[in-house]
Structure 1
Amino acid sequence: MMSQEQNDLITRIGPKAPAGKLMRQYWQPAALVDELEGDRPIRPVKLLGEDFVLFRDEQGRYGLLDRDCPHRGADLAFGRLEGGGVRCAFHGWLFDVEGKCLETPAEPKTSKLCAGIKQRAYPVVEKGGILWAYLGEGEPPAFPEIDCFAAPGQYTFAFKGLFECNWLQALEVGIDPAHASFLHRFFEDEDVKASYGKQFRGASAGTELPMTKILREYDRPIINVESTEYGLRLIALRELDDERTHVRVTNQLFPHGFVIPMSTEMTITQWHVPVDDENCYWYAIFTSYTTPVDKKKMTDQRLELYELPNYTSRKNKTNDYGFNPHEQKHETYTGMGADINVHDQWAVESMGKIQDRTREHLGSSDKAIIAYRKLLRAEIEKVAGGQRPMMSLDADTARSIQGPGTMDGIGPTKGWETYWMEVDVARRRGAPWMAAAPADQTEPGSNVIHLPAAE
């Protein structure tokens, strides 16, 4: 069991908290690019327990500033976008994307007050349909060259949703290979051809078997956890018979992300970003390896559940997440509809705002949770000791973090270790946006791919 002190160490993310200092070593998703579209590209953002205003100026530059005006503390999120920045609606003080004070119009013309005023500003970059902010000290790290960042915009789709709970319990559901056989169990299988944009509704690679059937009928996976340079690789094996095994390969992307297969065509790279200690947003980039993403269809599917402007779920604790006892008996394991985001939301929010881990009892199927918490504590200690943590990358190291490999398919019971890599490499190398296989991975005069030891 865990002590309360240990639980606080790995969950609290304020500026002075040990985990908060760790989180400030990384770029953090602050908003979707779409949120700043329209005629007023400015919005308040709460991130890692702090309040900011995010905006796009008249030149198209993005800025993130502390939300309180340094004059009298009024809310800059209600400011006017003009004059090369955001102007406070209280007295007209004007700040650019770097926090420089451009005007203090109520002051005498000879006043030099403006020259000594600077609002705290933070770097913002656009990547994968998300606006990323760096809240730490010093030079920001480089981004890894993972698939969701390497793919052109037409092959990716970004979305987000609010969970009213601590970020850690939200992340942990995503790195738990066992829960899908129960929480996301469907008693009947749909036509896999209608599964576009839906997780766990398609067929596993190499077969016409729906993922839902496999998860339902084989609910005791063997789980392997491997340490990697980016975090953890998780492999769940469900042996169908002596010849065939279902292999699902997912990844924990440190500090608070994961990469999972959505279908034979797509992966999901998802981050669980702390708003504060008791709320978080999941941000996801869906990456296609075949054809451009149907962004309208993906958006429409998700807006059936999520309400703008805050991306809150229509099914939530106020309406029991849409629970229906007849459905629970005949259609789904939870009785909460077909959208697995609702299932996850119920599971993590039902634990409380911050899960009391002093009361939990972990089993062997929780080995990924145990490994991640150990890794998290180690990296928190690194930062406390003045060291650079895992995945806070320089430009050279960032180029070495690629992929990472994912797979969901039926392979040979003997030889699954190379099977999953073959499927992943073939899919990634075959993507229209992926560079051709390097010369040292092919036979002279042939198209045979030599597999690396790991992705």
Structure 2
Amino acid sequence: MISEEMNRTLTRTGPGTEVGAVLRRYWQPVALTVEFDGPRPVRPVTILGERLVAFRNEDGSYGLIDRHCPHRGADLCYGRLEDGGLRCPFHGWKFGTDGQCQETPAEPEESTLAQRIKTTAYPCVERNGIVFAYLGEGEAPALPEIDCLTAPESHTFAFKGLIESNWLQALEVGIDPAHASFLHRYLEDDDPADGYGKQFRDYVGGTDIPMTRVLRDFPRPKIEVETTDYGLRITALRDLNGEAMHVRVTNQIFPQAIAIPMSNEMTITQWHVPVDDETCYWYAIFTSFGKPVDHAKMREQRLQLYELPDYIPKVGKRNGYGYDPVEQKMRTYTGMGDDINVHDQWAVESPGPIQDRTKEHLGQTDVAIAAYRRMLLRAIKTVRKGEGVLPILDTEGGPSAIRGPVAVDTVAAPDAWSDAWLACDRARRDAAPWSPKPAVAAE
């Protein structure tokens, strides 16, 4: 358990907060590019407690500026997108992607007011279906050259979903390897051939063992955590009755992303982005090391589960997460259907919008959660004092030196697992059609 004061420190992300200051040093996902499809590419964005508006210009560039016009506060989400800027319908004031007021057409012709008006604006870049923004001060760092951001668009797919909880709860479920044996347990094995686009449905790499069976039959993983240039490498080891070792390598990419294996061919990189202190979005990029991603199928699968335009889960707290006691007895451990995102929603939303960690009791399998909190506290101290090292940003070579990271499932001889996961990743990269960059040197 931790103190109430520390819980507040770790969970609050608005302007002026300590975690907020850390997160603003890094690029943050703010929208999917598909959200700008259609006749009017303008979207409201609330992130880290800031109310903003995002728009795409005719030349394909993106802007992210204060949602409220600095003239008299009107909502620019209803603005007119014209000639490289967003114009307020109230008095016609127009703003560029840099926040500079370009025109004040109701003012006298000789007025220089526009030159003196500049609203809050943040730089944006697009990578593989996600628009990222830098909300910090000074020059933005480079984006890290991790797999999901360097793969060709043909081999990636991006999506997002709303979670009604604090961002830290959402992140911590992703760095907890033990929960998969329970929260995502299936009491019978589906045909892995029907598992495209679904997590935990494939065979374990190089075997004919369904991943569902490994998680169900071997629920006591040994978990090892290593500090890396990018955050944490988390290795979960499941001893398969002394005959083999199942090795699952996942990662925490600082400050709030995870990289995990989805199947033998595909990985998921997922960011947990605060809307405010009680709501967040997960943004994910699915990256294929084999065949091009079937974008139509992946999107169709997920649109069955989420309501647009805000990507609100169709199954969630408002309808009891679809809980069915008969299903819980016969087919799934939760009784909440097959979608693991619903399972995760329940796990992170049911403690309340902000979990009271003064009452929690961590176990040995929570080692990555404890390690991450220590890393976050160190980052807070570094930003506060203006000295020290921040993960990724202060790596030798900067963010561009970050590679990978490795996220794999494999099975090896009990005394050879420490090399097997690296060999598995090297083989996958060597065979990949898009020439992924080598993994992090520390591997």
TM-score interval, smaller chain: over 0.9
Q: Show the counterpart of 1:190.
A: 190
Q: Show the counterpart of 2:435.
A: 434
Cα displacement string for residues 324-367 of structure 1 (whole angstroms, at most 9, x for unaligned residues): 11001101000000000000001000011000000001111111
Q: Show the counterpart of 2:112.
A: 112
The question of whether the paired residues in 1 share the 8 Å contact of 2:147 and 2:437 is answered with: no
Q: Distance in 1 between matches of 2:167 and 2:95?
A: 32
Q: Please state how far the C-alpha of 1:83 moved relative to its aligned partner.
A: 3.0
Q: Please state how far the C-alpha of 1:10 moved relative to its aligned partner.
A: 0.7
Report how many aligned residue pairs link the two structures. 442
Deviates further, 368-377 or 394-403: 394-403
The question of whether the paired residues in 2 share the 8 Å contact of 1:236 and 1:249 is answered with: yes
After superposition, the Cα gap between the structure-2 partners of 1:343 and 1:126, relative to the gap in structure 1 and judged at 3 Å, is: same
Q: What one-letter code is carried by the residue in structure 2 that aligns with 1:68?
A: H
Q: Show the counterpart of 1:400.
A: 401
Q: What one-letter code is carried by the residue in structure 2 that aligns with 1:14?
A: G
Q: Show the counterpart of 1:425.
A: 426
Q: Show the counterpart of 2:223.
A: 223
After superposition, the Cα gap between the structure-2 partners of 1:250 and 1:340, relative to the gap in structure 1 and judged at 3 Å, is: same
Q: What one-letter code is carried by the residue in structure 2 that aligns with 1:341?
A: N
Cα displacement string for residues 403-425 of structure 1 (whole angstroms, at most 9, x for unaligned residues): 11111121111110001110011
Q: What one-letter code is carried by the residue in structure 1 that aligns with 2:203?
A: A
Q: Show the counterpart of 2:23.
A: 23
* Correspondence 1:14-53 to 2 at 5 A: 14-53=14-53
* Correspondence 1:47-62 to 2 at 5 A: 47-62=47-62
Q: Please state how far the C-alpha of 1:453 moved relative to its aligned partner.
A: 7.5
Q: Please state how far the C-alpha of 1:452 moved relative to its aligned partner.
A: 9.1
Q: Show the counterpart of 1:71.
A: 71
After superposition, the Cα gap between the structure-2 partners of 1:162 and 1:400, relative to the gap in structure 1 and judged at 3 Å, is: same
Cα displacement string for residues 167-201 of structure 1 (whole angstroms, at most 9, x for unaligned residues): 00100000001000000000010111111100001
Q: Please state how far the C-alpha of 1:50 moved relative to its aligned partner.
A: 0.3
Q: What one-letter code is carried by the residue in structure 2 that aligns with 1:383?
A: V
Q: Distance in 2 between matches of 1:295 and 1:134?
A: 28
After superposition, the Cα gap between the structure-2 partners of 1:303 and 1:151, relative to the gap in structure 1 and judged at 3 Å, is: same
Q: Show the counterpart of 1:141.
A: 141
Q: Distance in 1 between matches of 2:93 and 2:395?
A: 37
Q: Does 2:99 match 1:99?
A: yes
Q: Does 2:295 match 1:291?
A: no
Q: Please state how far the C-alpha of 1:426 moved relative to its aligned partner.
A: 0.8
Q: Show the counterpart of 2:199.
A: 199
Q: Show the counterpart of 2:155.
A: 155
Question: What is the TM-score with the length of structure 1 in the denominator?
Answer: 0.95
Deviates further, 372-381 or 99-108: 99-108
> RMSD value over aligned CA atoms?
1.5
After superposition, the Cα gap between the structure-2 partners of 1:247 and 1:111, relative to the gap in structure 1 and judged at 3 Å, is: same
Cα displacement string for residues 67-106 of structure 1 (whole angstroms, at most 9, x for unaligned residues): 1101100000100001321110111111111112111111
Q: Distance in 2 between matches of 1:454 and 1:119?
A: 43
Partner secondary structure for residue 398 of structure 2: helix
Q: What one-letter code is carried by the residue in structure 2 that aligns with 1:414?
A: D
After superposition, the Cα gap between the structure-2 partners of 1:248 and 1:157, relative to the gap in structure 1 and judged at 3 Å, is: same
After superposition, the Cα gap between the structure-2 partners of 1:435 and 1:64, relative to the gap in structure 1 and judged at 3 Å, is: closer
Q: Show the counterpart of 1:132.
A: 132
Partner secondary structure for residue 296 of structure 1: helix
Q: Does 2:415 match 1:414?
A: yes
Deviates further, 270-279 or 100-109: 100-109
Q: Please state how far the C-alpha of 1:400 moved relative to its aligned partner.
A: 2.1
After superposition, the Cα gap between the structure-2 partners of 1:452 and 1:395, relative to the gap in structure 1 and judged at 3 Å, is: closer
Q: Distance in 1 between matches of 2:69 and 2:130?
A: 26
Q: Does 2:223 match 1:233?
A: no
Q: Show the counterpart of 1:329.
A: 329
* Correspondence 1:216-295 to 2 at 5 A: 216-295=216-295
Partner secondary structure for residue 368 of structure 2: helix
Q: Show the counterpart of 1:389.
A: 390
Q: Please state how far the C-alpha of 1:402 moved relative to its aligned partner.
A: 0.4
After superposition, the Cα gap between the structure-2 partners of 1:376 and 1:452, relative to the gap in structure 1 and judged at 3 Å, is: closer
Q: Where does structure 1 differ by over 4 angstroms across 4 or more consecutive aligned residues? A: 451-454
Q: Percent identity?
A: 60
Partner secondary structure for residue 433 of structure 1: coil
* Correspondence 1:303-322 to 2 at 5 A: 303-322=303-322
Q: Distance in 1 between matches of 2:265 and 2:437?
A: 18
The question of whether the paired residues in 2 share the 8 Å contact of 1:143 and 1:393 is answered with: no
Q: Please state how far the C-alpha of 1:399 moved relative to its aligned partner.
A: 3.0
The question of whether the paired residues in 2 share the 8 Å contact of 1:22 and 1:389 is answered with: no
Partner secondary structure for residue 126 of structure 2: strand
The question of whether the paired residues in 2 share the 8 Å contact of 1:421 and 1:454 is answered with: no
Q: Please state how far the C-alpha of 1:454 moved relative to its aligned partner.
A: 4.6
Q: Distance in 1 between matches of 2:124 and 2:332?
A: 42
After superposition, the Cα gap between the structure-2 partners of 1:230 and 1:207, relative to the gap in structure 1 and judged at 3 Å, is: same
Q: Show the counterpart of 2:355.
A: 355
Q: What one-letter code is carried by the residue in structure 2 that aligns with 1:55?
A: F
The question of whether the paired residues in 2 share the 8 Å contact of 1:265 and 1:289 is answered with: yes
Q: Distance in 2 between matches of 1:230 and 1:289?
A: 21
Partner secondary structure for residue 397 of structure 2: helix
Q: Show the counterpart of 1:364.
A: 364
Q: Distance in 1 between matches of 2:134 and 2:396?
A: 16
* Correspondence 1:161-172 to 2 at 5 A: 161-172=161-172
Q: What one-letter code is carried by the residue in structure 2 that aligns with 1:345?
A: Q
Q: What one-letter code is carried by the residue in structure 1 that aligns with 2:142?
A: A
* Correspondence 1:372-383 to 2 at 5 A: 372-383=372-383
Partner secondary structure for residue 145 of structure 1: coil
Q: Distance in 2 between matches of 1:193 and 1:394?
A: 41
Q: Which runs of 5+ in 2 are unaligned?
A: none
Q: Please state how far the C-alpha of 1:242 moved relative to its aligned partner.
A: 2.1
Q: What one-letter code is carried by the residue in structure 2 that aligns with 1:133?
A: A
The question of whether the paired residues in 1 share the 8 Å contact of 2:150 and 2:436 is answered with: no
Cα displacement string for residues 243-301 of structure 1 (whole angstroms, at most 9, x for unaligned residues): 31111000110000010000000000011001111100000000000111000000011
